Amino acid sequence: MNSDKSSSTMAFASVAFGIISIIASCFGTSLIFGSIGLILALLSRGSSNAYPKNTVAGLILNAIGIFIGAMMILISIITIASFGSIDNFMNAAEKYLDHYYSTLGSM
C-alpha cells in the first residue's frame, strides 16, 4: 500500500514538473524541470509492470517541455551563429525595429 501511494505521488509530481517545464520554456529552464519530471515519471512505476494513471500524462508533458527547451536552445545557437555574435544580432534587431516603428508613424 505504501508503494502505491509513493508511486502515485511521484506520478503527480511528474505531471506538476511537466506543467512547470512547459511554462519554464519561456525562461530557458525547461530542460531542468522536464528532466526531473521525466525521471520521476519513470520511477513512479516502481516494481510493478503498469504505470499509474498520471504517469503517461507526466511523460507527455515533460517530453513536450524538453522538446520546447531544446528547440529554443537550437534556434538561439543558429540565430547567433548566423549573425556572428549576439551584438550583431541585437544591432540588426534594433535597426529593424527602428525602421518598423518609423514607418508606422507615417501612416
Q: pLDDT at position 6, please?
A: 73
* Per-residue model confidence as pLDDT tens digits over 18-77: 999 999 988 888 999 999 999 998 888 777 777 777 888 999 999 999 999 999 999 989
pLDDT, position 8: 81
Contact 11, 59 (CB under 8 A): no
pLDDT of amino acid 42: 87
Q: Are 21 and 30 in contact (CB under 8 A)?
A: yes
81, 42, 84, 74: which is closest to 59 by C-alpha? 42
What's the chain's Rg over C-alpha atoms? 21
pLDDT at 1 over 50: no
Domain residue spans of the chain:
2-105
User: Mean pLDDT throughout 84-103?
Assistant: 91
**C-alpha–C-alpha distance, residues 98 and 4, integer Å:** 59
